[in-house]
Amino acid sequence: MRKIRLTLEFDGTGYAGWQIQANGIAVQQVVEEALEKVVGHPIRVIASGRTDAGVHAKGLVAHFQIDKDLPLGAFREGVNRFLPREIAVWDAREVGPGFHARYDARGKWYRYQIWNDPIRSPLTARAAWHVSARLDLPAMRSGAAMLVGRHDFQAFRTAGCDAKTTIREIFSLSVQQAESLVIVDVKGEGYLRNMVRVMVGTLVGVGLKKREPEEIARLLMGEAGLRAGPTAPPHGLCLMEVWYD
């Protein structure tokens, strides 16, 4: 059996996330259907992780096994012929039998975009959260610095999270601005359910002066009665890259 690793890019608008489910069309379903048309039989694709409905990806990694001697181009150009315009395979390569897209991942880079302007931007509407009131970026950076490192992120997850531990390490968290676009880049070893979106929602609360940056440190310490900010909308989030040894 050969093991093939794919790198995928997709616009998650209109999809029920990566994983196949009953309540809508998932990206995994569409990719597997395209692969089946190329190889002639059903293929199960395993990804580096789930993405929620409406979330995008530029560098989601997935793998599958196959016993046919097809060229690698069949898994990129061939599969792309059968994919909708919102989904594309950027890279296909053969890997060793022990590789696993999910369990071998050593870190992930997520980017969250915020359109910070009184006037909405139709061109960024599918990929950025519109926040019309001006954000205090220095305050957001102060709060972001407190999230870097190994912490208990219990306060930064949503209901339904079944993680065995809430301890995670964030390698870096930056808040940059390019004209009206505020870009939050988060790099870490792994994340709880909706963790990045909750962190962004909390940082936006800081930027709007609804809470002090120091509250983030208190949230990490589990202060009773203190809650994180709202979960930021999914369409501003994009999985940029997954790292492996």
Q: Where in the chain is the domain with CATH 3.30.70.660?
A: 108-243
pLDDT in tens, 137-186: 999 999 999 999 999 999 998 877 777 899 999 999 999 999 999 999 99
Question: CA-CA distance, 121 to 119, in Å (whole number)?
Answer: 7
What is the dotted CATH code of the domain comprising 2-95? 3.30.70.580
CA distance 4 to 32: 13
Domain at 108-243, CATH from 3.30.70.660, 3.30.160.20, 2.30.30.90, 3.30.420.40 = 3.30.70.660
Predicted pLDDT of residue 225: 86
- Determine how many CB atoms are found less than 10 A away from the CB of residue 239: 26
Mean model confidence pLDDT for the chain:
95
Query: Cα dihedral sign for 39, 35, 81, 243?
Result: negative
- Residue in 75, 86, 105, 78 with CA at minimum distance from that of residue 5: 75
pLDDT level of residue 196 (50, 70, 90 thresholds)? very high
Domain with CATH 3.30.70.580 in the chain: 2-95
Q: What is the pLDDT of residues 23-80, one digit of tens each?
A: 899 999 999 999 999 999 999 999 999 899 999 999 999 999 999 999 999 999 999 9
Q: What is the mean pLDDT of residues 132-139?
A: 97
Task: Catalytic residue, from 52, 69, 104, 136: name it.
Answer: 52
17: left (phi over 0), alpha (psi -120 to 50) or beta: left
Q: Does 52 qualify as catalytic in the annotation? A: yes
pLDDT at 162: 73
What confidence tens digit (pLDDT) does each residue in 206-233 have?
999 999 999 999 999 988 888 999 999 9
Give the pLDDT score at 140. 97
Q: Which residues contact 189 (CB under 8 A, 6 or more apart)?
A: 106, 107, 168, 169, 171
Helices 137-147, 195-207: inter-axial angle, 10-degree rounding:
140
